[in-house]
Amino acid sequence: MMHTRLVYGDQPEIIDEWVDPIPKGQTHGLKDYKAYGADMVRLLAKREIKNGGGATRASTNADSYAILANALWWWDVTGYFPGVPGKSDSVQAESDGGPVTLHVNLGNVTDVRNMDLTNMFDLELSGYGNGTPDLEGNPQTTAPLPSANSQKCHGISGNTFVLNSGIAEQNAKAFCSQSTMSMQYGGGTINDMQLSITAPPGTNKAVADSPDCVSKFTNGLIHGCDGDDPKKNPYNSKYGGNITTSNRWIFSFEPRANQGVANNCNTQYKFSVDTFDIRGNNFDPIKLGNNGEGLKKQIEGCSKPIVHWE
């Protein structure tokens, strides 16, 4: 299902294109066909550029990617890249050069919306050396691998963050001691987060092989991105980010909980007793305590006694 948002992320949107473009405001006719299957995908790509041919619309057509994936699988298995039956445009041996492809290893990630795909693609591209000639026979030159870690923090903004940095640190240590490349912690709570590692492309490396796993998450992404800032981040909340190492490991910390609106407090005077209620969400569970005992203790510091608490 190439046209699901889970696959294509934010842009460009992948749809089922019509072979003949349908002008805006018009509906398709009985003789209009969507670019389904190898034959229609080819017809879409062969149109003149000015009429939506080539990659103009093939690059946003779902089945174009499905057909390409099938053809690449066939190439990997047989060394034969299928062409159009009866035409001489197939590639039949490694000596023909083969299709020029670039694979980005997503590891076990199932949702690409929070991944830095551009950075991953650039890193993969940088791994291609000078040995493979381009279509004109000239050696390809690529950018060298980065010499240091590249860190991208999401920044202190928005309502999606992890409230308790201590819990985030505990989860990072637990994650680095197990074998799954992507794990969710605290699902449905105020500390809901996704931790993941992507190994260098073309390798079968595991979490245990990653360099300084705990430090990358704790010092780099948990404490290194949103350090104590009493003005912008008074509660030291964690907004996440990712680190790409010079040898192409990717460490990702993604908060998942939308923390919603601020809390509020109402009070009223009833006979000789003050009655008040406190409503809200996203209280730190450790500070709040069982049955709100932590909050009760703070209130008792201002006024005693509290005769009823629930």
> Per residue in 149-177, pLDDT tens?
788 888 888 888 898 888 999 999 999 99
Verify that 159 and 179 share a domain, yes or no. yes
Instruction: Among 70, 101, 132, give the residue marking a domain's end.
Output: 101
241 assigned to some structural domain: yes
Mean of pLDDT over the chain: 75
- What's the number of domains the chain is made of? 3
More confident residue, 71 or 104: 71
Whose CA is closest to 287, among 240, 239, 232, 235? 235
Q: Please state, in angstroms and rounded to a whole number, the distance separating the CA atoms of residues 8 and 269.
A: 57
Verify that 211 and 247 share a domain, yes or no. yes
Preceding peptide of 12 cis, ω within 30°: yes
Longest dimension (CA), the chain: 96
Tracing tokens 């080539």 back to the chain, one arrives at 54
Tracing tokens 């637990």 back to the chain, one arrives at 174
Q: Which residues have C-beta within 8 Å of that of residue 293, sequence separation ≥ 6?
A: none
Verify that 176 and 208 share a domain, yes or no. yes
Q: Report residue 288 as tokens.
A: 């709040």
**pLDDT value at 95 more than 50:** no
**pLDDT value at 310 more than 50:** yes
192 assigned to some structural domain: yes
Verify that 178 and 251 share a domain, yes or no. yes
What mean pLDDT comes out for the span 99-110? 62
Range of the domain at 44: 5-88+95-101
Whose CA is closest to 158, among 219, 237, 220? 237
Verify that 273 and 198 share a domain, yes or no. no
Supply the pLDDT for residue 237.
86
Q: Please report which confidence band the pLDDT of residue 137 belongs to, taking 50, 70 and 90 as the band edges.
A: very low
Supply the pLDDT for residue 260.
67
What mean pLDDT comes out for the span 69-85? 75
Verify that 159 and 242 share a domain, yes or no. yes
Verify that 161 and 225 share a domain, yes or no. yes
Q: Please report which confidence band the pLDDT of residue 141 belongs to, taking 50, 70 and 90 as the band edges.
A: very low
Cα 188 to chain center, whole Å?
A: 19
Verify that 274 and 251 share a domain, yes or no. no
Beta bridge partners of residue 133, listed in sequence order: 139
Residue 112's CB is within 10 A of a number of other CB atoms, namely: 17
What mean pLDDT comes out for the span 213-241? 85
187 assigned to some structural domain: yes
140 assigned to some structural domain: no
Verify that 251 and 154 share a domain, yes or no. yes
Tracing tokens 């500390």 back to the chain, one arrives at 191
Rounded to 10°, the helix 37-46/62-78 angle is 110
**pLDDT value at 129 more than 60:** no
120 assigned to some structural domain: no
Whose CA is closest to 241, among 227, 257, 225, 228? 225
Verify that 270 and 235 share a domain, yes or no. no
Verify that 83 and 12 share a domain, yes or no. yes
